[in-house]
Structure 1
Amino acid sequence: MARRTAEEAAKTRDAILDAGLQTFAELGFAAAQLEEIAKRAGVTRGAFYHHFTNKADLYLAVLRERWAKVMAPVLDELRGPKKPKAKIRAFVCAFVRAVQREPAMQALMQMSLSGDTNLPEFHGSLSDKRDVLDALTRDLGALIDEGGRLGDGITRARAILIFLNGIAVSAALQPDSISAPPERFAELLLDGVLR
């Protein structure tokens, strides 16, 4: 019975995270109300407080956990037996595809662009983001250096990530601006960066 209870608790927490993502993306941190989040999740206020201490705690959990969930299949493209350039191309395509088609990615971009992460409650989360970005830069840089004698893998990795961030921001602000196939974006980016 305890296993079932743990599974139910995990489902409840997941529903709250999904409802939080949707609400924060639509309304921003300040306007989002716990009652609305609990209602969307189909839980009581008590259930909310069983999993999260307050709205800021939920906001940070949404950012951390939902980014990790959305990015997992994208990052998986950097692993496996393919050659380095093919891995990087697949990674870029997977990222663009997620930005174009994944509602959770789009909602996370809305949250990230809202400016809410500049609030005092979230100053610590910026170092988390830097750490994740630094690790991804190192991984991409190592793949670039492994793939040939281009050199300057870290700078090239940063160029790729800046390009992808630009795509994500453009998608959040002007969704039609990224309607080209992901492969076309990869071709344009990588022909320049990995030449």
Structure 2
Amino acid sequence: MVRKTKVEAAVTREQLLDAAERVFRDRGVAKTSLAEVAAAAGVTRGAVYWHFRDKADLFGAMCERATSPLDAMLVEAGGRTHDDPLGAVRGLAVSALIRLATDPRAQAVFEVIFHTELTGELADFAGRQERDRCDCLSNVESIVEQAVARGQLPADTDTALATRLLHAYISGIMREWVFDKGAYDLAARASSLVDTIVAGLAANPPRRATRVRPRVRPRTASAA
């Protein structure tokens, strides 16, 4: 009986997350009440509070469900040694774009995220999102550093800046495509889009800034 209750609770939680995706996308997070989410899920308002503290907690769980597979892939890749580090970076980026292009849930959640101002009751989620971004950058940079160590990139490559360029490029594609899905077939173009940035990085990576010595001023007659 206990096992059945746990299963039923898990089903209800999934129903609430599914409903949140639909209602948040249709009405916006700020304009949606938990009662509306409960109604869309076909459960009572009390069921919402059984699973989630408040709307921010529900919003965070909805986002985590959609993004956790990619997060897990990044953590796993960042902790491994790669024979072809740039190839690993390419594979991660292509996988991220194809997942977005082929997963309606990911599309719905990213659409909600990109349209939502993370202030007020969602301010805590903004902090968590920033921590996730930093974790992503850290995992990717560890692979870029391997590319330097294996000679795929020059020794003076600014790995932090290179990683930020990769992140900005891929996240920019994701955001732009979510706003206009009919513009092109993202799944079909994913490989070529990623090849553009990886090839550019390999050909002309950002270099670490060298410290410039201040110019020595000529001595004046009085100083002679």
Q: TM-score, normalised by structure 2?
A: 0.76
Change beyond 3 A, Cα 1:76–1:86:
farther
Which residue in the other structure is 1:63 paired with? 63
User: In the alignment, residue 188 of structure 1 is paired with which amino acid?
Assistant: T
- Deviation, 1:10, is 1.5
More helix by share: 1
Q: CA deviation at 1:35?
A: 3.6
2:137 matched residue in structure 1: 137
**Cα RMSD between the aligned structures?**
2.2
Q: Larger Cα Rg: Structure 1 or Structure 2?
A: 2
Contact 1:75 1:91 in 2 (8 A): yes
CA contact (8 A) 2:74 2:139 kept: no
The runs of 5 or more residues in structure 1 that have no matched partner are none
Structure 2 residue identity aligned to 1:168:
M
Farther off after superposition, 32-41 or 168-177: 32-41
1:42-93 per-residue CA deviation (whole Å, 9 max, x = no partner) reads 3222222211233233123222333224x24753783666631221111111
1:167-178 to structure 2, matched below 5 A, reads: 167-178=173-184
Structure 2: unaligned runs, 5 residues or longer: 204-224
Q: Aligned residue for 2:170?
A: 164
* In 1, Cα distance between equivalents of 2:65 and 2:113: 14
Equivalences, count: 193
User: 1:16, 1:37 within 8 Å by CA — same for their partners in 2?
Assistant: yes
Q: Aligned partners of 1:54, 1:182: CA distance in 2, in Å?
A: 37
In structure 2, the residue matched to 1:83 is 84
Q: Is 1:107 aligned with 2:108?
A: yes
Match of 1:43 in 2: 43
- Corresponding position of 2:210: none
Equivalent runs, 1:182-193 vs 2, <5 Å: 182-193=190-201
Q: Which residue of 1 aligns with 2:94?
A: 93
Higher mean alpha-carbon deviation, 156-165 vs 24-33, is at 24-33
Query: Does the alignment pair 1:13 with 2:13?
Result: yes
Q: Secondary structure at the match of 1:30?
A: coil
Moved over 6 A (4+): none
